[in-house]
Amino acid sequence: MIDFIPYGKQTIDEDDINSVIEVLKSPFLTTGPKIEEFEKKLANYCNVNYCIAVTNGTAALHLASMVLLNKNDKVLTTPNSFLATSNSILYVKAKPIFVDIYEDGNINLDLCEEELKKDSTIKAIYVVHFSGKAVNQEKLKYLKDRYNIKILEDCAHSLGANFGNIKAGSSTNSDCSILSFHPVKHITTGEGGAITTNSKELYEKLLELRAHGMQRRVDIAPWYYEMNSLGFNYRITDIACALGISQLKKIDNFIEKRKNIAKNYDKAFLNSIVKPLYNFDKDSSYHLYVVRVDFSKLNITKIKLFNKMKEKNIGLQLHYIPINKQPFYKNLGYGKENTPIMDRYYEECFSLPMYPTLTIEEQEYVIKNLLELLND
């Protein structure tokens, strides 16, 4: 039988392995030259002024929230994301407000505007470019300017994505963006993340918060350091950054492959009961390939489909369970928001295998089994 096909996985080659071994033999395992090199290369790739690499995407969100938000600030955000996006708002004792999505899985920016009109105390919007498809950047810019709010772009799905000539992670119309280098994302460092921004002021605060809120002051004495804020140890290692530098060289190729896989799926599902989340988008970086199926009309349930596909060695995944419906959030009073699009989306959606090394044969095997099970 065919080897297990997960919904996502890393692509590691000999160059990646050698770049890590090189660091292991060098004087610095952490906080050496590879961190800055990785940050510079990421900033260059994202077309942004500053980049701070950290231990993971969640740490990036935490630090970004520390510099953007104050206690009790209201923040509009999406229920269709990984938990970390809105958790980071709670970390700093601010208040997420969940807004419904568009049919393409992204936060509905028109509804965000309605909320902003109703409540002038809303301070920020946290958007996620879901699956790699960028939210409308013109609308984002309009909201930022018109309502004078902070904007964070969660680009964990969208490294390498574009909106017209605006690159994801460039923070062109936002205060900052965050990235994740978890193995299922576009490039990996094992665990890793980064924040990008064009603001020197934010950059300097973030640098300090990454390392205990501490600043070296050799101008005062050779040993002297000063603590001005309560930071964390969110430093990433040189080992991880060497892997990141090596991975980043290959990102355009990775994304090209993801796009080809998306095109093949699109073609296979034409005129079938499987509906791709959106028509082919050349600007999407296709972190995920999400489809929708109206199970109410079928003999098979979604649970059964997942189990049957697993028996065939195919891993499906679901992105996402609405965050506001999680028990922890319900205990905080969430879960009763009016989000009909998200609710129906959750009933219908699931994600198919999508990663650069997925072969044509494997993809055809996934498609064949999926259509057979759904048509039974």
Taking the least distance from each CB to ligand PLP, the nearer of 157 and 257 is: 157
Is residue 107 within the footprint of ligand PLP (CB under 6 A)? no
Q: Which is nearer to ligand PLP, 100 or 370 (CB)?
A: 100
**Binding ligand PLP by CB under 6 A: which of 10, 58, 80, 137?**
58
Least CB distance from residue 129 to ligand PLP, whole Å?
9
Q: Does residue 246 belong to the site contacting ligand PLP (CB under 6 A)?
A: no
Please compute, for residue 57, the number of CA atoms within 13 A of its CA located in the half-sphere on the CB side.
29
Binds ligand PLP by CB under 6 A, chosen from 82, 269, 289, 355:
82
Between 56 and 108, CB nearer to ligand PLP: 56
Q: Give the one residue of 193, 231, 244, 322 binding ligand PLP; rule: CB under 6 A.
A: 193
Q: Is 7 in the site for ligand PLP (CB under 6 A)?
A: no
Residues 6+ apart with CB under 8 A from 273: 293, 294, 297, 298, 374, 375
| Binding status of residue 153 toward ligand PLP by CB under 6 A | no
- The pair phi, psi for residue 54, each rounded to 5°, is -135, 180
At 92, give phi and psi (nearest 5°): -100, 20
> DSSP letters along 41-76, please?
HHHHHHT-SEEEEES-HHHHHHHHHHHH--TT-EEE
* Cα distance from N-terminal residue to C-terminal residue, the chain: 22
For the chain, what is the total number of helices (H) and then of strands (E)? 13, 14
Instruction: Assess 166 for contact with ligand PLP (CB under 6 A).
Output: no
Q: Which of 139, 133, 141, 144 is nearest to 103 (CA)?
A: 133
Distance (Å, rounded) from C-alpha 226 to C-alpha 212? Answer: 10
The only residue of 19, 42, 43, 56 in contact with ligand PLP, by rule CB under 6 A: 56
Q: How far is the CB of 60 from ligand PLP (least distance, A)?
A: 7
Of positions 128, 149, 176, 373, contacts ligand PLP by CB under 6 A: 128
Report whether 89 contacts 123 (CB < 8 A): no
Q: Does 281 bind ligand PLP (CB under 6 A)?
A: no
Residue 81 binding ligand PLP, by CB under 6 A: yes
**From candidates 19, 65, 85, 108, binder to ligand PLP by CB under 6 A:** 85
* 38 in contact with ligand PLP (CB under 6 A): no
The reply to whether 126 sits near ligand PLP by the rule CB under 6 A is: no
Q: Which is nearer to ligand PLP, 57 or 322 (CB)?
A: 57
Cβ within 8 Å of residue 335, ≥6 positions away: 324, 325, 329
The closest alpha carbon to 103, from 276, 323, 289, belongs to 276
Is-contact 267 370, C-beta < 8 A?
A: no
Give residue number: closest CB to ligand PLP: 57
Minimum CB distance to ligand PLP smaller for 33 or for 183: 183
Distances (CA, A) of 246 to 30, 35, 231, 241: 17, 13, 29, 9
Q: Does 106 bind ligand PLP (CB under 6 A)?
A: no
Asked if 78 interacts with ligand PLP (CB under 6 A), we say no
Residues in a beta bridge with 292: 275, 349
3-class DSSP string for 120-183: CCEEEEEEECHHHCCCCHHHHHHHHHHHCCEEEEECCCCCCCEECCEECCCCCCCCEEEEECCC
Q: Which is nearer to ligand PLP, 149 or 156 (CB)?
A: 156
Shortest Cβ 105–ligand PLP spacing (Å): 11
Closer to ligand PLP by CB, 105 or 231: give it: 105
**Within a 13 Å sphere around the CA of 363, how many CA atoms are in the beta-carbon half?**
21
Among 150, 157, 167, 210, binds ligand PLP (CB under 6 A): 157
Q: With respect to ligand PLP, which residue has the nearer C-beta, 52 or 373?
A: 52
Q: 322 vs 367, which CB is nearer to ligand PLP?
A: 322
237 lies in the binding site for ligand PLP (CB under 6 A): no
Footprint of ligand PLP (CB under 6 A)? 56-58, 81-82, 84-85, 128, 154, 156-157, 180, 182, 193
